[in-house]
Amino acid sequence: MFNPTQEVSGYYELGKIIKYAHDHEIDVIVTVNQPFISETMKKEIWNHFRACIDEDVDAFLIGDLGVLSILKSLDKDVKFYASTYMITMNTETVEFLRKLGFSRVILDRQLSISEMGHIIKNSKVDLEIFVHGGGCSNIDGSCYLFHYMFPGMMKYLSMTTNLYGNPCTLPYDIYDLESNAKLANNVPIMDAFEYCSLCKLPELIKLGVTGFKIEGRGSNILYKENTIRIYRELINLLKQEDLQTFKEKVESLKKNFKPAPPSLATLNDMLCSQKRCYYPPLFHSPSKMPISWQSWTRMQFNTLVLLE
């Protein structure tokens, strides 16, 4: 039997995490989103899959068909879900992925509620949607800006040591291409689809989705913990058909909830006043802040000190 603790470092800790999760009746899904772009990667990806399977992982989140072929070559009975990087935006794509063996598909975050409803109604696999976290004005599987540092980017980041963010979340100066005249300063021009779905939960639950996806990569642990907790509380209220209490709690959260104390920013400060909501009218992109909310919020977290 493959022994990940001897052949691949780091998987012993993963095993401990999986055991803890399973003891609390929680599944563990490992994301393997990177594209399979070189034959030299094959052995490493194969070993990674095998080590995770030996540690009893429940499923893999796959974003590349080449990576999927490597997983299938192991011939193991393990579930795999289609990442948002599969750019699933219609029923035909869902059916294609189902035939490949995917048991769950993450729909692209650029879809409207009505479009998602049509796909869910006409699909035969579990479907999951984004509800909270960093948005994207690009199509996930078609964007190369995430890893691209164009000339001047590193210098800019080094000058703003407290500013964190990908190129698509940073503010830009806008110029006329022909006259070179500056048209605007400090505009988060690519920061379009953002963050929160608390108010939309009743509508989203009625769609019949299998799961909600909360994006929190790189975020503060308190932020993730508090966000997951309030979504669970609100979903439970809707399960109980207590819509009145749900509405009252949402309004209270907007005014009083601070995702990561001691930061003073409330949901209203970070999101509602900016009209930053998943599934808004298409191309609705308010830019009231001089920088994107992600960068501004992470500046607050940069000084956060956690005491046990």
Average pLDDT score, the chain: 81
Sequence-separated (6 or more) residues with CB below 8 Å from residue 161? none
Of 124, 95, 121, 93, nearest in space to 108 by CA: 93
Q: First-to-last CA distance in the chain? A: 40
User: pTM of the full predicted structure?
Assistant: 0.79
Q: Average pLDDT in the 265-283 region?
A: 74
Q: What contacts 24+ positions apart, CB below 8 Å, involve 14-21?
A: 14/51, 14/52, 14/55, 14/57, 15/55, 15/56, 18/55, 18/56, 18/57, 19/56
DSSP, residue by residue, 232-260: HHHHHHHHTT-HHHHHHHHHHHHHH--SS
Residue 70, classed as helix, strand or coil, is: helix
Both structure tokens of 293: 């909310």
Of 205, 202, 193, nearest in space to 277 by CA: 193
pLDDT (tens digit per residue) in 131-186: 988 767 677 767 766 555 555 555 555 555 444 456 666 677 889 999 999 998 87
Which is more confident, 291 or 219?
219
Backbone angles phi, psi at 132, to 5 degrees: -155, 140
Of 214, 206, 279, 200, nearest in space to 241 by CA: 206
pLDDT (tens digit per residue) in 198-231: 999 999 999 999 999 998 776 778 888 888 999 9
Q: Report cis status (omega within 30 of 0) of the bond before 151.
A: no
Residue 143, classed as helix, strand or coil, is: coil
pLDDT (tens digit per residue) in 27-77: 999 999 888 888 889 999 999 999 999 999 999 999 999 999 999 999 999
